[in-house]
Structure 1
Amino acid sequence: MQRLMSPLILALFLGACGSPAPPVEETGPSTPEPTVTEEPETVPADTSGCDPRVAEYTKLLQDYFADLERMEQQQHYDAPLQEAWAVNAIRLRSALNAVGPAGLGESCWMEYEAAQERYNPLIADKVKALAAMKARQVMRGRVPDHPIG
């Protein structure tokens, strides 16, 4: 169970460390919000003139999400691969946070935050779904090499 929880905690930490959303002002009747799709655009934002780590971070999150989707489709949770993605994302995010908005410039910082806001919730949801899938497989005895199964 510890092997299963460590990657989940890393992914949840990744999702929780995004910038907080600005407060929403209620003005008039509310309109239904568009639903978040499971497949975000994979076209990288225009990061010309930005620190190349912003584009690298966006691409990393896109690839991370794509690998998680592949794992879900194949019904196989690859914990070491997921953990490697999470560690790389945290490492790169920490480097960008150390530079900060002043070092990156306002537009680059906004692109960086947009990537976090787009992918972190999707990644966290996908990791939770994969962890639940793995737990169901263990409970059904489909993972014979697992200590519980």
Structure 2
Amino acid sequence: MTEEQEIKSTLEDYAKAYCAKDIDSLMAVFEDSDDISAIGTGADELCEGRAAVKELFLRNFAEATAYEFEWQWSNINILNDYAVVAISLVIHLEYQGERLEIPIRWSVALRKTDRWVWLHRHASSPAVNQDEGQAYPQES
């Protein structure tokens, strides 16, 4: 398996664990240290350290149930023992009895140990008030 395939495998591991609400498997994707972080799409979702990152995911699990990650565009850059993944995806989930498709953009920083581990994951949503070809959102 190439390094790029190994990294893509971690994305699949994350998605499977997230959809299963398996917090232990999800946290296993990350480096086993307090030097990890995550930024979510919520205004208060700025987390550093294992406990805070775990709490973020547990909150997500309590609010909704994801059932599919639909990978789209991706770019993977590897330099020695570090890599950065930029990827867009759609998360299919159920929230308050309604099925939703949430477009997401991720940046993931990884480090190679005996395997590729995540150091950081940043999630954002595309601006809904910004037309294609525009650099900034339009006033509402």
| Larger strand share, 1 or 2 | 2
State the structure with bigger RCO (CA 8 A, min sep 6), 1 or 2: 1
Task: Give yes or no for TM over 0.5.
Answer: no
TM range (shorter): under 0.3
TM-score of the pair, normalised by structure 1: 0.25
Q: Which has the higher helix share?
A: 1
